[in-house]
Amino acid sequence: MNPKLQVAKDTAGHNVVILPGIIFKNKQKIDWNAVEKYLQKYVGEIVTIAETSDIIYIGIDFPNEYKGSKYTKLLKGSNAKAKANAAQGVMEMLEIATEKRFRTNRKDKHATDAGSGWYYYTTRFAMPVYENDVKTDIYNVYSSCLLINCTKFGKMYLYDLVDIKKEASTPLRTIC
């Protein structure tokens, strides 16, 4: 776990990973190659989801899929920036994941890597709000789904972060 990252509760009582800052700043043109390079440090890591005790592996394909998925290619503006910066908290977002849902694999191209289907978990993260390039104590909260593939041997791998939505509720405030 990244020692700089904290987990807090939002106004609804959900766990939220607090990102320490914005490392991928440009909303108009995200450097997805830099995001992929950033994520490569997690390859080989193993995380246990607290709610379900599921063991999730970070495989070699994860950084490239995160960068180049159909979902990522369609992202624009603040949601693209949110996904890029969420890379900082991927491990913690796995730990706090909730609401496990299953879906069978429907594509032949995933017969090996998702032979036993897909799992979706809800997770949340918060990004700091800046005013005139100065970080405030306000954080915008986002919900999203962690997409996990399950091999035909039952091993589960983090595949992507999808369905990113800014929460309409009151933003978080930190106490520093």
| pLDDT at residue number 170 | 66
pTM for the full predicted model: 0.90
Give tens-digit pLDDT for 123-162: 999 999 988 888 888 999 999 999 999 998 999 999 999 9
Under DSSP, the state recorded for 154 is: S
Query: Span 104-132, mean pLDDT?
Result: 86
Give tens-digit pLDDT for 5-63: 899 998 889 999 999 999 998 777 899 999 999 999 999 999 999 999 999 999 999 99
- Beta bridge mates, 122: 98, 145
> For the chain, what are the domain ranges?
6-173
Buried b (16+ CB within 10 A) or exposed e, 144-173: bbbbbbbbeeeebbbbbbbebeebeeebbe
Residue 93 predicted with pLDDT over 70: yes
Residue 175 predicted with pLDDT over 50: no
User: Confidence band (pLDDT; 50, 70, 90) for 4?
Assistant: low
